[in-house]
Amino acid sequence: MLKILFIIMLSTAFLSSAKPSQFLVYGDMPYSHIDADMLRKPSGLLYQAVQKTPHDFIAHVGDIKSGAAPCTNAILEENYALISKISHQPFIYTPGDNDWTDCDRKSLTPRYDELERLKFIRSEFARSAVKLSHYERQTAQPENQTWLHNNIRFITLHVVGTNNGRRQILLSDKKQARAQINIRDDHNVTWLTRNLNPNLSAAVIFMQADIFVNPQYNKSCTQSRQKKCDGFKEYKALLNDIAQKYDFPILISHGDTKAFCLSKRPSGLWQLNGPGDFQYLDVAQVSIDIENKVTPFSVRALLADKVISDCQ
């Protein structure tokens, strides 16, 4: 009996002293030769900072090139190689609008059909398995990924800026492109709801778009309303419902807009607007402490070496 009590006490002490789960996240880069040099090994400032920082994995939340740069195979492949080699730990990527939906901009030379670029992104950057615990790709939409670490569920969702790809369909067949958005949304919702359950300790959801930005239109997008609608409204409603349904903390980690901040939304969701986008050339270290009921997520900027606080 004493032996059993000793084992229980030892196990409890071990769990209480366990280090919080930690990962790195950034996005919206490289946009220029400046941030590309910062990511490049062996002497890049961001590369060196990542090497010195404990983390379980590193995630890039989309936009691997500037919107002013054309979406050539060479640029996409070169930049993906750069961002995927910044860490010795597993690498996660979810696409951004600059990577495919905005490749038809009139200012770009050459211009591309966005659906063709999406096919390229999927074939080149969403093929291999990643060495993470209980890792899985969605069969129908392989850029969507999930894994489980320390009973924390991590999920990527393919949600992009430019109103989730509904704005500026310039070269693709508009009817076909919007039909593909509806399919992508359906796969995202299925993936999200399938991978959450009440027994989790926490969840982190990665996507490129800042779905909380003030919308141009207030109405939801539906089968009969495919334009002049808020492409993120249904995601906001679903995530708010999920935050109130489950009794564990949930973090939405995204890029797309310029603020670099962490805050808790009225629904209970936590929101991390990550670094990048010219303004904040940095990488965020996220620590998850499930025992801390007040602030389960904390964020530190590697280069600035400071704790990131609430969004204003």
What pLDDT, in 10s, does the model give residues 34-56? 999 999 999 999 999 999 999 99
Q: pLDDT tens digits for 158-206?
A: 999 999 999 999 999 999 999 999 999 999 999 999 999 999 999 999 9
pLDDT tops 70 at residue 22 = yes
Confidence at 267, pLDDT banded by 50, 70, 90? very high
Q: Is 244 exposed, middle or buried (0-12, 13-18, 19+ CB in 10 A)?
A: exposed
Q: What percent of the chain has pLDDT over 90?
A: 90
> Which two three-digit tokens encode residue 122?
């999927």
Residue 9: is its pLDDT beyond 80?
no
Three-state SS annotation for 113-144: CHHHHHHHHHHHHCCCCCCCCCCEECCCCCCC
In contact, 276 and 284? CB cutoff 8 Å: no
| Interval 60-79: pLDDT, tens | 999 999 999 999 999 999 99
Q: Give yes or no for residue 264 having a pLDDT over 70.
A: yes
Spatial CA neighbour of 270 closest among 239, 300, 292:
239
Neighbours of 168 (CB within 10 A): 15
- What is the signed CA dihedral for 31, 71, 192, 22, rounded to 10 degrees? -30
